[in-house]
Amino acid sequence: MLSSNSELKLKLNPTLCGSSSLQVSEEVRAHLKTPLFDNWQWEESEMLLLLQVMFTDLDILTAFHIQLQVLQNFLFQVYCHYNHIPFHNFHHCFCVTQMMYSLIWITDLRNKLNKMDQLIMLTSALCHDLDHPGYNNVYQINAQTDLARRYNDISPLENHHCAVAFRILSKHFLTSPFCSRCILATDMARHNEILNKFRAIQATFDFNDKDHKEVLMKIMVKVSDISNEARPIEVAELWLDCLLEEFFNQSDMEKVNGLPVTPFMDRDKVSKPSSQTGFISFLLLPLFTELTKLFPCLEVRPAISQFIPN
């Protein structure tokens, strides 16, 4: 938690987030750089401070001459644009960004990619689910929602997240078209397409190749987005409960509205173990396996295997 010499509790106000008022211990800073970090021990106000630490410790503010208050205002606006829903909320935003931050340190990407690339990845992780309504793309399309019509049934949620992100960025921070590419890559309908592109360049991967870097950055955001099961079991299982709650809410709504019921969200058919078997085997493990080929320093956390029934 906050270091012992920090008596003031952070308020949900960006003007009170300054490092002059609060300090984060070196122990917390070190733990923040690992996938072992436990988000459940922290209040949302403290998460805002820790997000600030991530940007400052990667020297992003110095590199781009960004004033601390500008960053604080930006982070607070991001917080305000996440909804109070079971899974795709500000806590999820924080966890995805923290995982991205830890992977940047573990794989030494801070020395392999330039500061703009690091800024894009961190910002993409932070903004990737802005204003998520709690119902996925399949629901949006089947229910013919305003979002689905607006984006012609093409990644409606991810396009919406990008639109909200650019609205915030244009007022408070910076803009980069690359952020949109990374956020759009989190649409699971594009999972195999992006993973296969990454597989195809593994043998000749070059950090100086712009196209190679773009695919890697997309993979990094995707890994961070679905990495809960790679965390310690006591952290991961609580996230699974949140995810299933959101899934079940959607299937309940689908039944009420006479829409096709998404099978893996049906509370009458899905259990915690069954929900994880296919996800881990066919989505998470292949993604981690490919990333580990490029970065042997990574290894899949034991927590993953504990979700798969014998």
**CA-CA distances (angstroms) from residue 137 to 46, 68, 225, 262, 292?**
31, 36, 16, 11, 30
pLDDT at 78 over 90: yes
* Cα angle for residues 71, 77, 79 (degrees, 5° grid): 105
Q: What is the pLDDT of residue 13?
A: 40
Q: What is the pLDDT of residue 299?
A: 72
pLDDT band at 22 (very low <50, low <70, confident <90, very high): low
The answer to whether the annotation marks 129 as part of a ligand binding site is yes
The CA distance from 185 to 179, in Å, is 10
Q: What whole-number percentage of the chain has pLDDT above 70?
A: 87
The answer to whether the annotation marks 55 as part of a ligand binding site is no
The answer to whether the annotation marks 90 as part of a ligand binding site is yes
Q: What is the pLDDT of residue 305?
A: 46
The answer to whether the annotation marks 128 as part of a ligand binding site is yes
pLDDT at 12 over 80: no
pLDDT band at 300 (very low <50, low <70, confident <90, very high): low
Residue 63 domain boundaries: 40-306
In the predicted model, what is the mean pLDDT of the chain? 89
Beta-carbon-side half-sphere exposure of residue 97 (alpha carbons within 13 Å):
29
The CA distance from 24 to 257, in Å, is 49
Contact 29, 56 (CB under 8 A): no
Q: Is residue 53 part of a domain?
A: yes
Q: Is residue 198 part of a domain?
A: yes
Q: What whole-number percentage of the chain has pLDDT above 90?
A: 83
For the chain, the domain total comes to: 1
Q: Is residue 32 part of a domain?
A: no
The answer to whether the annotation marks 84 as part of a ligand binding site is no
* Segment 272-281, tens digit of pLDDT: 998 998 899 9
* Segment 103-116, tens digit of pLDDT: 999 999 999 999 99
Q: Which one has a higher pLDDT value, 305 or 146? A: 146
* Segment 206-263, tens digit of pLDDT: 999 999 999 999 999 999 999 999 999 999 999 999 999 999 999 999 999 999 999 9
| Mean pLDDT, residues 77-85 | 98
Q: Is residue 6 part of a domain?
A: no
Following CA atoms 253, 284, 85, 80 in sequence, which dihedral angle do they give, to the nearest 10 degrees?
Answer: -140
Q: Is residue 188 part of a domain?
A: yes
Which residues are annotated as catalytic?
A: 88
Tell me which DSSP letter residue 134 carries: S
Q: What is the pLDDT of residue 90?
A: 98
The CA distance from 145 to 141, in Å, is 7
The CA distance from 45 to 47, in Å, is 5
CATH of the domain at 53: 1.10.1300.10
The answer to whether the annotation marks 276 as part of a ligand binding site is yes
Q: Is residue 69 part of a domain?
A: yes
Q: Is residue 33 part of a domain?
A: no
The answer to whether the annotation marks 92 as part of a ligand binding site is yes
Q: Is residue 194 part of a domain?
A: yes
